[in-house]
């Protein structure tokens, strides 16, 4: 069997309701040596299963930054509900089997995580999407709406994603990781079969997606399967000012 072709596309928009322009904040470059989008781009390029990395953006400022550090970028033209919609525009032009979506505000994502979501798709014909999760290690994270939780069925497919605690342990809801129940944090990476990714754009945003602001719920709402691999890798997305400061502190001497 011939080796599958895979490409990483990073959706990157300038506007953000919480941290506008966070992907190209000068403060991050001044203290860590690179913009957030450059951290993401260069980390995922270490993946062994991919042919290229492309940033898909609606911002000429982000486009220019990517070009300046030697990256590949494509301007997108549509008004999109999600990053998945944005990368679908670029994916139409590509000769590839799998697309990996790495969020532009996930600067600690790594190449091995990219390879893992590709492996999951390649080994499971029933899954049109794949993603990753790790174990939640604190009660604080379980309560944090910026920490997206996922629950799985017995075969490792996602049942639901939520910003709320799932599952809710009725008889003893104290944090008891590894004893009565395992709580899982969803990580900001997706693998798609190219044909499904192009179909995804024709699906209307679901009510659940709009309520939780979680794009993967559009796939679940329409009956599609998302396979989830549990990993020990940790990746902290930049959702808040506090996330930003913690990231800078961790990488200021890189």
Q: What is the pLDDT of residues 120-156, one digit of tens each?
A: 999 999 999 999 999 998 889 999 998 999 999 999 9
Helices 36-44 and 111-123: crossing angle in degrees, nearest 10, is 50
Instruction: Output the pLDDT for position 136.
Output: 92
Q: 108 is in which domain, residue-wise?
A: 6-124+186-221+236-251
Asked if 83 contacts 11 with a C-beta cutoff of 8 angstroms, the reply is: yes
Asked if 85 contacts 201 with a C-beta cutoff of 8 angstroms, the reply is: yes
Instruction: Output the pLDDT for position 178.
Output: 52
For the chain, residues with pLDDT lower than 50 are: 1-2
* Reported pTM: 0.91
Question: Domain for residue 134, yes or no?
Answer: no
Question: Domain for residue 151, yes or no?
Answer: no
Asked if 42 contacts 34 with a C-beta cutoff of 8 angstroms, the reply is: yes
Asked if 180 contacts 144 with a C-beta cutoff of 8 angstroms, the reply is: no
User: Please, what sign has the CA dihedral across residues 82, 86, 89, 95?
Assistant: negative
User: The domain that contains 106 carries what CATH number?
Assistant: 3.90.550.10
Instruction: Output the pLDDT for position 57.
Output: 92
Query: DSSP class of residue 35?
Result: -
Asked if 151 contacts 167 with a C-beta cutoff of 8 angstroms, the reply is: yes
Question: Domain for residue 243, yes or no?
Answer: yes
- Closest listed residue to residue 193, CA positions, set 231, 160, 225: 225
Instruction: Output the pLDDT for position 191.
Output: 97
Question: Domain for residue 48, yes or no?
Answer: yes
- Residues 98 and 117: their CA atoms lie apart, in Å, by 10
Beta carbons within 8 Å of 73's beta carbon, 6+ residues apart: 54, 55, 56, 57, 62, 63, 66, 67
The number of folded domains in the chain is 1
C-beta neighbour count of 111 within 10 angstroms: 18
- Residues 100 and 131: their CA atoms lie apart, in Å, by 9
Instruction: Output the pLDDT for position 38.
Output: 96
Question: Domain for residue 21, yes or no?
Answer: yes
Question: Domain for residue 227, yes or no?
Answer: no
Question: Domain for residue 100, yes or no?
Answer: yes
């Amino acid at each position: 069997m011939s080796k599958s072709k895979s490409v990483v596309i990073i959706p990157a928009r300038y506007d953000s309701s919480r941290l506008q322009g966070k992907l190209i904040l000068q403060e991050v470059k001044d203290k860590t040596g690179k913009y957030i989008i450059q951290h993401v781009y260069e980390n995922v390029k270490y993946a062994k299963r991919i042919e290229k990395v492309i940033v898909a953006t609606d911002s000429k400022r982000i486009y220019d930054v990517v070009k300046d550090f030697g990256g590949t970028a494509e301007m997108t033209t549509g008004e999109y509900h999600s990053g998945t919609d944005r990368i679908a525009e670029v994916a139409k032009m590509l000769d590839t089997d799998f697309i990996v979506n790495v969020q532009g505000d996930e600067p600690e994502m790594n190449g091995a995580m990219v390879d893992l979501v590709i492996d999951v798709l390649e080994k499971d014909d029933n899954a049109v999407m794949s993603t990753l999760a790790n174990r939640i290690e604190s009660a604080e994270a379980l309560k944090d709406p910026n920490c997206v939780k996922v629950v799985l069925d017995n075969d490792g497919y996602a049942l639901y994603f939520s910003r709320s605690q799932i599952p809710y342990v009725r008889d003893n809801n104290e944090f008891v990781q590894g004893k009565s129940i395992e709580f899982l944090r969803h990580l900001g990476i997706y693998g798609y079969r190219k044909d499904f990714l192009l179909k995804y754009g024709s699906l209307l945003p679901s009510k659940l997606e709009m309520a939780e602001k979680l794009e993967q719920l559009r796939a679940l709402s329409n009956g599609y399967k998302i396979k989830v691999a549990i990993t020990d890798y940790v990746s902290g997305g930049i959702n808040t000012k506090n996330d930003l400061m913690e990231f800078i502190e961790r990488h200021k001497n890189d």
